[in-house]
Structure 1
Amino acid sequence: MPPVIAVSGATGRIGGLVARRLADAGVEQRLLGRDPSKLPELPEAVAAPPAEYGDAEAMRAAVNGADTLFLVSARESADRVREHITAVDAAVAAGVERIVYVSFQGAAPDATFTFARDHWHTERHIRGLGVPFTFLRDSFYLAAFPAMTGADGVIRGPAGSGRVAAVAHEDVAGVAAAVLTTTDGTHDGVTYDVTGPTALTLAEVADELGRATGREVRYVAETQEEAYASRAGYNAAAWELAGWVSSYEAIASNEMSAVSDVVPRLTGSPARSLTDYLREHPNSLRHLLPGA
């Protein structure tokens, strides 16, 4: 029988896109989410019982009958690694024989970007489970660039002149679908950097956003101290602030600057550029347009 794929985060951006691609390919799926009523209705797809990563019993029930788990990383939290470990352990206990995990470019125990350390610890645990795995180390998402630009048209952060090979969610989903539908072991034990076609500085990103909106958009480099101070008003937890600030610092140190050919090689289509992304997602720029 063809393998059944459990798709986590199927109500979210990556998981939803992957689920739709697998449905188009006629793949049998179990769709996972905290609220099954929000899961998409797709051919050959069954809504699994509600499950959160940190609930081992619920995760076992949700993935029961699946051969492969596509694990979209959990939302950032102080306890994210434990949630990931609980989820993958439960999946293996339920009989899952393969894990495809959405990680992050530059994942390492000493990564500048603090959230990338979570991904490394998760990868290390998965490696020790004794089941085939594939890690998709996504770069920064192109969607983040408009979101990190204030209504005043300014991107602020300690990124210096570093570069980042940001990627579109759609391209990550395309790579994931290609990996998940290949069952001959080609991708087992492989770690892929999933990137866009070029690495940009935030000054170049600002220029591109300016061209797309017809207004001035600027990048203003901050020191670490200035970055923490400018975000203090959000009253975020210390771990969250560290993640925000260190994401820029990781750009400054070029930890996400390497460009790979994984998207065109595995999907057969070129990776989307920032220009492509903005053309496909004009609503992402609404807060920067005149009268917003």
Structure 2
Amino acid sequence: MSPIVAVTGATGNIGGRVARLLSARGVTQRLLSRNPSALPDLPGATNVQGAEYTDAEALRAAFSGADTLLLVSARESANRVHEHTTAIDAAIAAGVSRIVYTSFLGAGADCTFTFGQDHWHTEQHLKATGVPFVALRDNMYASAPPAMTGADGAIRGPAGDGAVSMVALDDIAAVAVAALTDTAHDGQVLDVTGPEAITLAEAARVLSEVTGREITYVAETEDEAYASRAHYNAPEYEVAGWVTSYTAIAAGELAVVSDTVTRLTGRQPQTFAEFLTANPGTYAHLVK
């Protein structure tokens, strides 16, 4: 009997891509989502309901019979680490013997990006369980700069002249599949990045070329960044995550360029320009 891979967040950007790739390879899998009615109908996949990370009992039932788990990190929340640890403990209780977790580049107890601290605490819990795991420390998605661009064509934030090695979602998914299907990577913490580190000003120039309109990067101070986002009336932890994603760039913490994509998939990761060319829908809202 072939091993069963449980994929969380199977309707999302990463989980959905992973599920399709695994299906194409004939891997038997279990698909989980907060919205089970939206789960794809894929060959070799069983759709499972009840995948809220806060519901340990439902998770244990959903994970039962699975051998390997892709734990896609939860949405940002004040209780995110608790959600992750609940899911991890439920998976182990259900008999899952390997876990692949989507972490974040530079995760650390005191890293600048506040959400990266959540990932570090999750990694520490994984280590403490003794279960074989792989932590995929994905960098900022290549789809982020278009999403960060305002209606006026400006990317605003306190990133300074720092650079970021953005990575395409397709490359992240391909790495995840490699980790899920090959135990040789167990015990590793892998940085998953694009092939180059560029500044947001450089990203704006690339966006200008593909959209045909002027896109600019406007550097803010940290205080200005908090003030300019106050109108969203978002929780304090969420605003801190938004702002520190930029200050982490300024601090040089997201400029690492790794060879993980090439080593695990045998192909070169997409540059930011290549990603935009392949995914025009990510910047369609910027084209006038």
Structure-1-length-normalised TM-score: 0.97
Alignment of 1:165-244 (within 5 A): 165-182=165-182, 185-244=183-242
* Runs of 5+ consecutive residues of structure 2 not aligned to the other structure: none
Aligned to 2:62: 62
Q: Secondary structure at the match of 2:135?
A: strand
Asked if the contact 2:56–2:86 (Cα under 8 Å) also holds between the matched residues in 1, the reply is yes
Determine the C-alpha separation between the residues in 2 that align with 1:200 and 1:270. Answer: 17
- 1:281 is displaced (CA, Å) by 1.2
Deviates more, 1:150-159 or 1:280-289: 280-289
Query: 1:10 is aligned with what amino acid?
Result: A
Percent identity reads 61
Deviations 1:20-40 (A, max 9, x none): 000001000000112221101
Aligned to 1:98: 98
Aligned residues: 288
Query: 1:31 is aligned with what amino acid?
Result: L
Determine the C-alpha separation between the residues in 1 that align with 2:179 and 2:148. Answer: 31
Aligned to 2:83: 83
Deviations 1:204-244 (A, max 9, x none): 00100001111111101000110011111101010100000
Deviations 1:62-95 (A, max 9, x none): 1110001100000000000000000000000000
Determine the C-alpha separation between the residues in 2 that align with 1:264 and 1:72. Answer: 22
Q: Secondary structure at the match of 2:184?
A: coil
Determine the C-alpha separation between the residues in 2 that align with 1:57 and 1:152. Answer: 47
Aligned to 1:151: 151
Q: Structure 1: which 4+ aligned runs deviate by more than 3 Å?
A: none
Asked if the contact 2:81–2:122 (Cα under 8 Å) also holds between the matched residues in 1, the reply is yes
Alignment of 1:47-58 (within 5 A): 47-58=47-58
The partner residue of 1:277 within 259, 275, 285 is: 275
Asked if the contact 1:53–1:84 (Cα under 8 Å) also holds between the matched residues in 2, the reply is yes
- 1:257 is displaced (CA, Å) by 0.4
Determine the C-alpha separation between the residues in 1 that align with 2:46 and 2:7. Answer: 10
- 1:277 is displaced (CA, Å) by 1.0
Q: Does 1:16 align with 2:2?
A: no
Query: 1:174 is aligned with what amino acid?
Result: A
Query: 1:38 is aligned with what amino acid?
Result: A
Q: Secondary structure at the match of 2:23?
A: helix
Query: 1:23 is aligned with what amino acid?
Result: S
Q: Secondary structure at the match of 1:128?
A: helix
Structure-2-length-normalised TM-score: 0.99
Aligned to 2:46: 46
The partner residue of 2:244 within 243, 246, 249 is: 246
- 1:283 is displaced (CA, Å) by 1.6
Determine the C-alpha separation between the residues in 2 that align with 1:78 and 1:48. Answer: 26
Determine the C-alpha separation between the residues in 1 that align with 2:15 and 2:287. Answer: 30
Asked if the contact 2:101–2:135 (Cα under 8 Å) also holds between the matched residues in 1, the reply is yes
CA RMSD of aligned residues (A): 0.7
Query: 1:271 is aligned with what amino acid?
Result: P
- 1:49 is displaced (CA, Å) by 2.3
Q: Secondary structure at the match of 1:22?
A: helix
Asked if the contact 2:8–2:51 (Cα under 8 Å) also holds between the matched residues in 1, the reply is no
Asked if the contact 1:49–1:61 (Cα under 8 Å) also holds between the matched residues in 2, the reply is no
Deviates more, 1:32-41 or 1:135-144: 32-41
Asked if the contact 1:171–1:271 (Cα under 8 Å) also holds between the matched residues in 2, the reply is yes
Query: 2:141 is aligned with what amino acid?
Result: Y
* Runs of 5+ consecutive residues of structure 1 not aligned to the other structure: none
Query: 2:209 is aligned with what amino acid?
Result: R
Determine the C-alpha separation between the residues in 1 that align with 2:284 and 2:169. Answer: 19
Query: 1:46 is aligned with what amino acid?
Result: T
- 1:280 is displaced (CA, Å) by 1.2
Determine the C-alpha separation between the residues in 2 that align with 1:124 and 1:244. Answer: 24
